[in-house]
A and B are shown apart, each in its own frame.
Chain A
Amino acid sequence: MNRIIKLIATYLRIGIMNEMQYRINFFIQLLQSLVALGTGLVGLALVFDHTTELGGWSRPELLAVMGVHILMGGVIRAAIQPNMQTLASNIQEGTLDFALTKPVDSQVIVSVREFRLWQVVDVLMGLSVLGWAVNELQGQIGLGEAVIFAVMLLLGGIMIYCFWLMLTSSAFWIIRVYEMINLFEGLYAAGRWPVGIYPGWLRSMLTFLVPVAFAVTVPSEILVGRIDVLTLVGAFALTAGLVIAARFIWKLGLRNYSGASA
């Protein structure tokens, strides 16, 4: 375990050093995040120009959803997506051998190799939006809610990671995976709004197929004080299920992998 933590720390340091070479990218990222935030706010303003609530959610409540969405998006693009993209091209080109021959668990190593520091801008921006929303909500958010919120956010992140790993593992069989990013981004964009507003079939897709509901809507629900115990238990159960499934599919895929050079 100690070794794994050291390994993660090392890769993190390398990733940060890499990104530090391109400092101007920080400003480009900042500008892009601001533009994205601006469009998001315009969308929200337009909706509430015509109505006072959307599917039972008020404006500050939806602002909280947007904050969580930006925050989680930043985490995904900083730590999850780059690793999975590298993994996909490794599988495709047969260069995964280099990762497999390392003396640590292969799933760990393929999941921690990349880190995009500048995407952390989105994490900070998400937190600011969240702070703004909480301030507008004027609700009482005690220590208990804050802890549950953090835990749910973590579970959501793990679920998204498992989903990405399963999606990427499909590269062992179908090779071409570029469109996956497009697919994921499209579905993730749906999380900008609470999943409750979507028609039933889409809602279950966003809950169980792509766990956007648990990654964005559920943490937001805690902040706005509308959560039931059943959902929390469900989040734990689904996370456990996805972790096991992702592990299984990864192992299955590895058995199907037959290098390219060696």
Chain B
Amino acid sequence: MKISILVEFQYHVANYFYMIGMIAEPVIYLVVWSTVANAQGGEVGGYTPGAFAAYYIVWTLVRNMNIVFTPYGWEGYIQRGQLSGELLRPIHPLHNHISFFAGWKVVVIVLWLPLAVALTLIFKPTLDDITFLEVVVFFFAIWGAYLIRTMLLSLLGMITFWTTRVSAIYEMFFAVELILSGRLVPMSLMPEWVQRIADFLPFQWTFGYPIESLVGRLTTTELFSGLGMQLLWIVITTTMVSVVWKFGIRRFSAVGN
């Protein structure tokens, strides 16, 4: 009994630290952009401080949904040869990761709720006119985002099949993703030409679109075409993953085990 309390307390503190570290990022963006909005007479690019608050609070959930088996995981996995064990199983190793992380997401959502309440009380987001349809689309969109990001990061991780010095490539990928996904700022605040570039890339469907499907002002057509785009990107990235996988696995020679 005493031990279990101690253990729980440890994890409690650890989780608490983790959460503060995690929400620092959106809170910083939120404060900066609220300041800008206030300086511009209460609105910038169609966003009021309340709208920014709504955007970045939903951001925290989407961010959690976006945490997938990282390329760093792939790296260790391939370098240390743990992959061999998985290859013996009759199904594709990726199934294992997708379902493992998907299960964990359910726990994440539960843990996220009190955090969302706290942030809502502090930053007072504008949350009116959320329709039932938006909630439904949002529910599918966060899972779509999860799948696309899993596939993208798997592609990135599989680079390890060919070379082992990959951290610099990851850093660049994450920087591009940060800017073109709506993680840094809502896409509508980006200059026109940046938005055009982003249209050809999958990133905004993993971050900006899910957020805006709930708290943005998307029309019904935009809501559904967004889901369509997600589906398209899921198909594209999954195809790429399976092709790269087929070539990569030939390069893989097991270590140990």
Contact = CB atoms under 8 A, between A and B. Distances in A.
B1 interface: no
B142 interface: no
B189 interface: yes
A44 to B, nearest CB: 10
Interface string A16-46: 0000000010001001100110110011001
A9 interface: no
Interface in A217-233: none
Contact of B44 (A50, A53, A175, A186): A50
A198 interface: yes
B190 A174 contact: no
Contacts of B15: 179
B77 interface: no
Interface residues of A, number: 38
A190 interface: yes
Contact of A185 (B21, B39, B167): B21
Contacts of B20: 183, 186-187
A43 B184 contact: yes
B39 A54 contact: yes
Q: Which 4 pairs show the lowest CB-CB distances between chains A and B?
A: A186-B24, A186-B21, A182-B21, A179-B17
Interface of B: 9-11, 13-15, 17-18, 20-25, 27-28, 31-33, 35-36, 39-40, 44-45, 122, 165, 167-168, 171-172, 175, 178-179, 184-185, 189-191
Interface of A: 24, 28, 31-32, 35-36, 38-39, 42-43, 46-47, 49-51, 53-55, 174-176, 178-180, 182-187, 189-190, 192-193, 197-199, 202
Given A35-B172, A186-B24, 13 more contacts: A28-B167, A39-B178, A39-B184, A43-B184, A47-B32, A51-B39, A51-B40, A54-B32, A186-B22, A190-B24, A193-B31, A198-B31, A202-B31
